[in-house]
Amino acid sequence: MSRYFINLLLLLITYSAFSQSKPIDLNPKDTVGYKQSYGLGLGIDLSRIIKGALDDNYKGFEIVADYRLTQNLYLAAEIGTEEKTRQEDLYNFTTSGNYIKLGVNKNNYANWYGERNLIYMGGRLAFSTFDNTLNNYQYFDTNRYWSPDEFSNGSDVPEKFSGLNATWLEGVFGTKVELLSNVYVGASIRLGLIISSNNNDFERFPNLWIPGFNKVTWDSNFGIGYNYSISYFLPLYKKKNKIKKKIELSSEPQGPPKPKERL
């Protein structure tokens, strides 16, 4: 039994000496660093699909995409197509066309460790090409003697106005929340301002609805839109966040520098 304890003691002494022979690192480095994913997000706008299912006079589909460029800056785009039929007091018309929106989103939400949610503000430059079809119309007449209940019929023959386009700027405020791993749901509100619109027959039939922009009023170039999206984030690479160094200022007053001693 004594021989067993002597051998165990020698083994412990040897292990201790071997351990102490290794240099001690007085400034150990943190080898654990959190890296965030960068890549492409791709999805669809659910609001246009739901609206098309509930409204027989509307059809629409939009693809949404963004690419994480920096820690809080995203390149963003929307591409879509819409068709809308509207009944007004004197006329019925259908607008159909395509649009594209390009811009950026700036995330303003400070995530907790491991979170990847967004509350962002952004901007878009948008362009749309479309056609208007005047399906039927009636004449506005103040003399209602011959038609006391309705206005006089104008025409039921569809008249098409092709080759129309519009360009506008769009401010965006929205959010994206990670519902499942890499699966996001989002919502945004958009305020648009038309900067140019091409319509050679404006006096005959103006642009009253623009795909991607929404309703156009007679006395304003502003429009409001929205979307509800579901998208999938495809991670392409990872990199560490840039940590901002804090400069600590001493609250104690510092006196003048001491004079150098003579050698």
Q: Nearest-CA neighbor of 62 among 213, 199, 241?
A: 213
Phi/psi for 46 (5° steps) reads: -75, -30
**Tens-of-pLDDT digits for all 263 residues of the chain?**
555 545 544 554 554 554 455 455 555 554 455 688 999 999 999 999 999 999 999 999 999 999 999 999 999 999 999 999 998 878 899 999 999 999 999 999 988 887 889 999 999 999 999 999 999 877 666 555 555 556 556 677 888 999 999 999 999 999 999 999 999 999 999 999 999 988 877 777 888 999 999 998 877 889 999 999 999 999 999 887 765 554 445 445 555 555 554 44
pLDDT in the model for residue 102: 98
Please list, in sequence order, all residues whose beta carbon lies within 8 angstroms of the beta carbon of residue 203, skipping any fewer than 6 positions away.
none
pLDDT in the model for residue 62: 98
Q: Nearest-CA neighbor of 171 among 119, 105, 74, 110?
A: 105
Radius of gyration for the alpha carbons in the chain, expressed in angstroms and rounded: 33
pLDDT in the model for residue 153: 66
The one-letter code for the residue type at 214 is N
Give how far Cα 134 sits from Cα of 23, 41, 85, 96, 158, Å. 86, 39, 10, 12, 5
